[in-house]
């Protein structure tokens, strides 16, 4: 029996900072669906609610303690790299109601190496077999010129985790997310 997998939608905690080095800038300008090929990540926090796993929409960070446990537990599909971390000028204001979160812990860049494909019906078509997967998902994009009419279908990407990886992430403090359980695509029947 195959392990349970989940598509995680995280609240965006930050944006790319000015010291981010993107290697495929021209390709990104020509494509609505491209994923940035990052050499150096500068992550500027806009807010932080205490989660051990955060995103800017495409890149993911983990606290150093979560990163160490992911390695120790043998979770697969990633590597950890250094990251430049700071708060945007508005960061301190956004943290006023939670002063205990005004100081950021040490973070590491969670570079996903596991891959997969997911259909619109939340079905896994294929994966690399890893615990952490950067998955392409086919979603409808609405054309604002044709209100109410679906536009072209384009892939979006997101984080897919196994039950084992999700349980470990939760133990480190992780509350601000949406979770969607995925099913495995059934092979076509032979007649």
Is 190 part of any domain?
no
- pLDDT, one tens digit per residue, over 106-142 is 999 999 999 888 876 788 887 889 999 988 765 544 4
First-to-last alpha carbon distance for the chain, in angstroms, is: 24
Is 191 part of any domain?
no
Is 145 part of any domain?
yes
Confidence at 28, pLDDT banded by 50, 70, 90: low
Kindly report the number of other CB atoms within 10 A of residue 181's CB atom. 10
Is 189 part of any domain?
no
Pick from 136, 143, 141, 160: which is nearest to 34 by CA? 136
The whole domain housing 121 covers 5-182
CB 15 within 8 A of CB 42: no
Average pLDDT over residues 90-97: 83
Q: What pLDDT does 191 receive?
A: 47
Is 122 part of any domain?
yes
Q: What pLDDT does 23 receive?
A: 84
pTM for the full model?
A: 0.83
Q: What pLDDT does 151 receive?
A: 47
Average pLDDT over residues 83-108: 88
- pLDDT, one tens digit per residue, over 33-52 is 567 788 999 999 999 999 99
Domain count of the chain?
1
CA distance linking residue 124 with residue 135, whole number of Å: 9
- Highest mean pLDDT: which of 9-23, 74-88, 94-108? 74-88
Is 111 part of any domain?
yes
Is 188 part of any domain?
no
CB 91 within 8 A of CB 47: yes
Is 90 part of any domain?
yes
Confidence at 57, pLDDT banded by 50, 70, 90: confident
Kindly report the number of other CB atoms within 10 A of residue 119's CB atom. 13
Copy the structure tokens of residue 180. 């969607």
- pLDDT, one tens digit per residue, over 145-188 is 444 444 444 446 689 999 999 999 999 999 999 888 998 876 55
């Amino acid at each position: 029996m195959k392990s349970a997998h989940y598509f995680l939608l995280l609240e965006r905690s930050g944006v790319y900072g000015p010291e981010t080095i993107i290697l495929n800038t021209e390709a990104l300008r020509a494509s609505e669906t491209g994923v940035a090929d990052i050499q150096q990540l500068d992550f500027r926090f806009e807010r932080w609610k205490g989660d051990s796993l955060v995103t800017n929409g495409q890149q993911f960070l983990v606290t150093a303690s979560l990163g160490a446990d992911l390695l120790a537990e043998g979770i697969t599909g990633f590597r950890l790299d250094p990251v430049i971390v700071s708060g945007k000028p508005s960061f301190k204001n956004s943290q006023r109601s939670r002063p205990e979160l005004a100081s950021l812990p040490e973070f590491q860049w969670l570079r996903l190496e596991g891959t997969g494909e997911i259909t619109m019906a939340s079905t896994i078509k294929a994966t690399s077999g890893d615990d952490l997967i950067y998955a392409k998902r086919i979603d409808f994009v609405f054309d604002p010129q044709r209100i109410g009419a679906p536009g072209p279908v384009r892939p979006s990407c997101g984080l897919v985790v196994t039950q084992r990886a999700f349980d470990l992430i939760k133990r480190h403090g992780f509350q601000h997310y949406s979770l969607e359980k995925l099913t495995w695509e059934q092979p076509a029947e032979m007649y």
